[in-house]
Structure 1
Amino acid sequence: MRNINKSAELTEETIALNEHGIDYSVYGAEHIEEGARKQMDVAMKLPVSVAGALMPDAHQGYGLPIGGVLATRNAIIPYGVGVDIGCRMALSIFDIPGDNYFGNDAKYKRELIAHTKFGAGQSFKGSERAEHAVLDREEFGSIRFLKGLFDKAYGQLGTSGGGNHFAEWGIIEFAERDEVLNIDKGRYVALLTHSGSRGFGATVADYYTKLAKSLCKLPKETENLAYLDLNSEAGIEYWIAMNLAGDYASACHEVIHKRLTKAIGAEVLAKVENHHNFAWKETLNGEELIVHRKGATPAGKGVLGIIPGSMTAPGFLVRGKGEVNSIYSASHGAGRQMSRKKAHANISREEMKAVLKAHDVMLIGAGLDEAPMAYKDINKVMAAQTELVDVLARFEPKMVRMADDGSRED
């Protein structure tokens, strides 16, 4: 497939939005800022929009709000997927009783530092580099643009971004036995990670977002919702690149979990993974549509997912109920209640240390913009989506590693 010329298929005429937007479901409306609602209102006026929903952790983003779910007809919006394509959660539950963590935290800290690398631009060199089947994918050779990103992808495989990306040890508690996961009631040591497709995915997102804006002329104030027709060469290329970036993000988590599992000498009882910056082909009301989940967790009937809180708040292992009005989705976390800038201006390092101490959490890295106070109350967010998911287990963070250089996620 040839590399696309950005001027090809250029549409000079501005595409008009529909006068009235399609109605959409909102969960936890009292927790959602006006800016996110306005962004969703505009998205529902796109001529390709069919259905939408807003999750209780929603807040303003670029184009589609974070926490926004949008179903479109044969069109994909790069900013509806997000900059960090395929960003996801991954949870490994070990055959180690929860109480084993206490008294052994020095070992867990040593291995966490030794086997993770955080921050924008971070990569492995030489023999440190990981190998994975995703690097053998033919897409790296069939699309010239992706071929140029191979070395970056190779070096960053198994690393994590900045911002809200993390790797943490914690204790997960099952109040009763789960037959599907084959895990008995009890408390277990677990590893939870959050990261995406690194510089590779960020570069893909930037390239195709600019391309979409050049091909899809929307009114100035809505240009970040520019979309690509999936029948066009540009749309097909982005779809291929997005799926590769999603698989690459999954591979990054796999490398991290395998390394840390080996380091602590554990067996994995169960592993759960879900992504929340992606687009899927799904059937809704009998029609195949493109479902964008930008900061939203898939919650189809029986689908497992992880919804984290903050570095001191609990996270939850959930099973989707398949609610059609939410477009089979749930929140992807607690959601921000302070912008990064506001958090830096209003939270002191001493306040952050006090909260960590009160919750007995050890923090390695992270800036004030990731302080627990910058996030909504995860318990209120979960209460707003009881019709979307069932909670299977509660994860309590004990040791959290994040980027310490103030870099944003890729």
Structure 2
Amino acid sequence: MKGNKMVRESTLPIALSDSGDRVKMWAPEAEVETEALAQLRRVAQLPWVHGVRVMPDVHVGKGATIGSVIAMNQAVSPSAVGVDIGCGVAAVRTNIRADQLTDLHLLRSSIEAAIPVGFNSHDELPDLRRFGMETGVRGLFDRFETLDEKVMPLKQRAVRQLGTLGGGNHFLELCLDQDDLVWITLHSGSRNIGKTLADLHINIAKSLGHNQGLVDKELAVFIEGTAQMDAYKHDLWWAQEFAAQSRALMLGLFKEQVVKHFAGLPVSFDEPINVHHNYVREEKIDGQTLLVTRKGAIRAGAGDLALIPGSMGTGSYVVRGRGNPNSYFSASHGAGRRMSRNKAKKSFTEQDLADQTAGIECRKDAGVLDEIPAAYKDIHQVIEAQKDLVEVVGHLRTILCVKG
């Protein structure tokens, strides 16, 4: 079994059948959902597509597949970015040791009180001067009036949602590394404002003449040099910055609670990791300047540090990119779902959730049953499948998890 697994992984990447050489996959075709394969083939048919790279956490998404990297020539598909623009992860190592941990339930409660989760938001934005973020955030919201006019009524909501978690697979975690040092990790996106901007521009793209008759209307694109593309990129860059600033603020709030909880200890923090995995970037690919969308994928350029999370109970990997041009300098964003949320709710019980998160301070109720570890692919196998894309720096074991 182990030998077969190693042989299988040594053959990756593979070319997706019936797609020429445009789609290369770091996952065996037989192990990918039929609909996800169909989505990848539809993307590859778009005339603007230079190539598609598929990560080992691949699964069905809306329009474009999650776990896909799409390089386009003078075009971009908003659905290939995803509706949670700028969604990503952040992490920071502390100097706290495992043997110094105390009362994780109390710490989880204080984190949940400091950082709103689910549909909740701040009553008012925290004092940003505490985190050295005042200038950056002020500049971000000073530019709000330059966004599409349809989102103008959402400004105050966006202000209050900065530095809040949201729900679904977003999380705040404490983890231990191989040296038993504590890490803070989190996963979040651009909240309602990012989704609203994404949906708005997807609908605009669908209405454009050059997108009529596409193999899939969800893959509608904007073309470089048009007013619609300029407007989309403007709003996109703003939403990506919002998401990054939101993660930075949550890290600051999280760190404050850790310092308070471990009062008396000289707590210190390393430089943070803060990376997107739903975003667009202009990059040099195969000698050409292309627009690269990563939907459920991270940039893994040579030396780039990133976090690849698993699920509740399985921890995360800190990785360093190998700069592999074959994957368009990319790697997976996480474990990836192996079953839908509805199927997970029908397949498992609260007792299953408690069993699979044993020893972890977290919610174990029906409200997070769709996030049960068994609903996700094996993060260790996902990492093994992309050894040519990233170098493992360390594995982080989850000891506390906050979900929305």
Q: What is the Cα deviation at residue 136 of structure 1?
A: 2.4
Matched, 1:123 2:121: yes
Contact between 2:108 and 2:402, CA under 8 Å: does it hold in 1?
no
Query: Where do residues 180-219 of structure 1 align in structure 2 (5 Å cutoff)?
Result: 186-215=179-208, 216-219=210-213
- SS across alignment from 1:248: helix
Equivalence for 2:277: 276
Distance of 2:350 and 2:68 partners within structure 1: 32
Equivalence for 2:156: 151
Equivalence for 1:246: 240
Distance of 1:65 and 1:309 partners within structure 2: 18
Q: What is the Cα deviation at residue 218 of structure 1?
A: 4.0
Tell me the alpha carbon deviations over residues 59-78 of structure 1, each in whole angstroms, 9 at most, x when there is no partner.
01111100011000111111
Equivalence for 1:406: none
Please list every run of 5 or more consecutive structure 1 residues that lacks an aligned counterpart in the other structure. 1-18, 174-185, 404-410
Matched, 1:34 2:34: yes
1:371/1:328 CA distance change after superposition, 3 Å: same
Q: What is the Cα deviation at residue 129 of structure 1?
A: 7.5
- SS across alignment from 2:331: strand
- SS across alignment from 1:270: coil
Query: Where do residues 131-170 of structure 1 align in structure 2 (5 Å cutoff)?
Result: 132=134, 133-137=136-140, 138-145=142-149, 146-170=151-175
Matched, 1:337 2:341: no
Distance of 1:244 and 1:399 partners within structure 2: 32
- What amino acid does structure 2 have at the position aligned with 1:255? L
Q: What is the Cα deviation at residue 377 of structure 1?
A: 0.7
Equivalence for 2:9: none
Equivalence for 2:216: 222
TM-score, normalised via structure 2 length: 0.87
- SS across alignment from 1:367: helix
Tell me the alpha carbon deviations over residues 54-104 of structure 1, each in whole angstroms, 9 at most, x when there is no partner.
101000111110001100011111110001000000001112113222x33
1:155/1:49 CA distance change after superposition, 3 Å: same
Q: What is the Cα deviation at residue 220 of structure 1?
A: 6.2
1:144/1:278 CA distance change after superposition, 3 Å: closer
Q: What is the Cα deviation at residue 111 of structure 1?
A: 2.3
Distance of 1:380 and 1:243 partners within structure 2: 33
Equivalence for 1:399: 400
Equivalence for 1:361: 360
Q: What is the Cα deviation at residue 31 of structure 1?
A: 3.7
TM-score, normalised via structure 1 length: 0.86
- SS across alignment from 2:271: strand
Contact between 1:134 and 1:247, CA under 8 Å: does it hold in 2?
no
Distance of 2:357 and 2:124 partners within structure 1: 37
Contact between 2:22 and 2:50, CA under 8 Å: does it hold in 1?
no
More helix by share: 2
Distance of 2:274 and 2:38 partners within structure 1: 31
Equivalence for 1:15: none
Distance of 2:402 and 2:87 partners within structure 1: 17
Distance of 2:85 and 2:153 partners within structure 1: 18
Equivalence for 1:23: 22
Identity %, equivalent residues: 32
Equivalence for 1:320: 321
Query: Where do residues 39-50 of structure 1 align in structure 2 (5 Å cutoff)?
Result: 39-50=39-50
Distance of 1:141 and 1:127 partners within structure 2: 19
Please list every run of 5 or more consecutive structure 2 residues that lacks an aligned counterpart in the other structure. 1-17, 260-266
Tell me the alpha carbon deviations over residues 24-74 of structure 1, each in whole angstroms, 9 at most, x when there is no partner.
210022542222111111101101000111101000111110001100011
Distance of 2:98 and 2:330 partners within structure 1: 30
Contact between 2:79 and 2:218, CA under 8 Å: does it hold in 1?
yes
Number of aligned pairs? 369
- SS across alignment from 2:38: helix
Equivalence for 1:298: 299
